Amino acid sequence: MDSGMVSGIVTIIFIVVFIGIVWWAFSKGNKQRFEDAGKLPFDEDDKPAQQGDKQ
């Protein structure tokens, strides 16, 4: 096996991994979880300051 063949195999592996990550990120099962996580920074502003918190 020469370096060109190893490079090609590694490239194919990375393409398959990338497609898997994209599929996982855009799957319908994760949509609600990602939307909830995206709203977390805005939910913190609605809570009243607790006693002892410095502002």
What is the domain range of residue 8? 1-29
Q: Which residues are CB-neighbours of 27 under 8 A, at least 6 positions away?
A: none
| pTM, rounded to two decimals | 0.59
Q: Indicate whether 16 belongs to any domain.
A: yes
Percent of the chain with pLDDT over 90: 40
Q: State how far the Cα of 22 lies from the Cα of 9, in Å rounded to an integer.
A: 20
Q: How many domains does the chain have?
A: 1
Q: Indicate whether 37 belongs to any domain.
A: no
Q: How many residues does the chain have?
A: 55
Q: What are phi and psi of 2, to 5 degrees?
A: -95, 175
Q: pLDDT tens across 11-21, in order?
A: 999 999 999 99
Q: Indicate whether 13 belongs to any domain.
A: yes
